[in-house]
Amino acid sequence: MTRRSFSKSRLCHVNSGKTVALNPLVLGLLLLLSLIPLTYAADPTTQERYLILARRFSPIYYQGVGPTPRADYICAFNFDGDWKGDNNWNHCTDTQYRMKAYVYYSVEETTTHFFIHYAAFHARDYKGGSLYGQLLNLGKEMYKKYKDQIGNIPGVEEAQLSHENDMEGCLVIAEKEGEDPRSARVVGVETLAHDQFTPYFVNPRPNLFNRDDTRIRVEDGTHPWIFVEPKGHGQKNYTGKEKQVATESTHITYRYTGRAEEPSGRGIEEVGYDLIPLYSTLWQHAQVTQPDDTYGEVFDYGVVKAQAFDPVKHKAEDWQHDIGKVGSSFRGETEGKDKARPPWGWFDVFDKSIHQGDWFFNPAPLVKKHYQFDDKFSLAYVFNPYLGITPSLWK
């Protein structure tokens, strides 16, 4: 395994030709400093600002519960105390491991909007069961064999039923009203369900996406209601209609409380969850150039192009950042191999113009396109740590 360091080394040397003996205490401090990421993670002010945002817009999840309830519990990837991906399927049903409720979050900011990603992890995706999964895999093999004769069918090669680990999520788009994050308001929510992004509207404009199935319910103006399917965990807007509430006989309502609670397993209940930053957890573990215990696949994202807002010149500048290779799918050996992905591994199987990682690394252009925002909608980031755009950049 090759793990890439998060931080960049700072080297200083004196051209005197002399060997300088460093005090052990000074050397220790220098080594400690070299381990601190040169990112917003070292800035408590920035952390607090975006945690306030993540709390303010935290979703309310209506989680359907199927015949294997613990597989439908939202939890942390390392719920079992380790960062191995290929033991989560078995540990999922082992009651010695508590499945406390955590939701991962990440925030990016332009001059006009906040983009708050929320990702919910489940230890299993068990839709269809093993037999159906085997039949699907057989069908996929046949499709690959005769693809030249029958032509391309979108979604076939990416299709998968049961697999170890699962992560799906949503993106809350909030319009800024001043610099206080507590004044921002939700204008849209996009969800991921089985490799397909779907935009939902708080206030659909007349004659534009003005249908019931495009609306998102937002409690108190800040907390979107998200329906999470049992078994497969795809996320959609919660409608309260029979198709959703009658899917299974029971469900869990997850709300942000700042406390990671565990479902009791005694039927319909409300459970509190806590938030975990993606950047300092799953993203840090993704800094690998070869597969490891956490990530079964790596992907070379190369150079990502975007716009950054220069506060000194007070204008948008073209920006590019070399992300390179990082872990892109969780290691999983049971059922589908390495099929679950973190947010930077997501893509839309029906829209090939959206490349893997676009929705996470550079959401602004896609959101503008999906919601048909006008030119007042800014594409220039003032904060995007994945592209190296942080307050310290301009100092």
Query: Domain coordinates of the chain in residue numbers?
Result: 43-127+162-276+349-379
Look up the pTM and report it: 0.84
Closest CA to 235 of 292, 296, 171: 171
Output the six-digit token pair for 352.
Answer: 């090939």
pLDDT in tens, 335-389: 889 999 999 999 999 998 999 999 999 999 999 999 999 999 999 999 999 999 9
Please, what is the end-to-end C-alpha distance for the chain in angstroms? 36
Output the six-digit token pair for 257.
Answer: 């409380």
Beta-bridge partners for 270: 253
Least confident of 26-30, 118-122, 243-247, 263-267: 26-30
Q: Give percent above pLDDT 70 in the chain.
A: 78
Beta-bridge partners for 172: 116, 189
Residue with tokens 């310290």: 392
Least confident of 107-111, 159-163, 214-218, 249-253: 159-163
Output the six-digit token pair for 214.
Answer: 């495009």
More confident residue, 32 or 99: 99
- What is the mean pLDDT of the segment spanning 275-292? 98
> Tell me, what's the pLDDT at 205?
64
Q: Which residues contact 135 (CB under 8 A, 6 or more apart)?
A: none
Is residue 6's pLDDT more than 50?
A: no
- What is the mean pLDDT of the segment spanning 158-178? 89
> Tell me, what's the pLDDT at 47?
87
- What number of H helices and E strands is found in the chain? 9, 16
Cα torsion 89, 93, 95, 98 to 10°: value is 50
CB 357 within 8 A of CB 366: no
Query: What's the DSSP call for residue 78?
Result: T
Task: Tell me the C-alpha distance between 94 and 99, whole Å.
Answer: 10
> Tell me, what's the pLDDT at 252?
96
> Tell me, what's the pLDDT at 209?
53
Q: Give percent above pLDDT 90 in the chain.
A: 67
Task: Tell me the C-alpha distance between 321 and 300, whole Å.
Answer: 13
Task: Tell me the C-alpha distance between 377 and 175, whole Å.
Answer: 9
> Tell me, what's the pLDDT at 33?
38
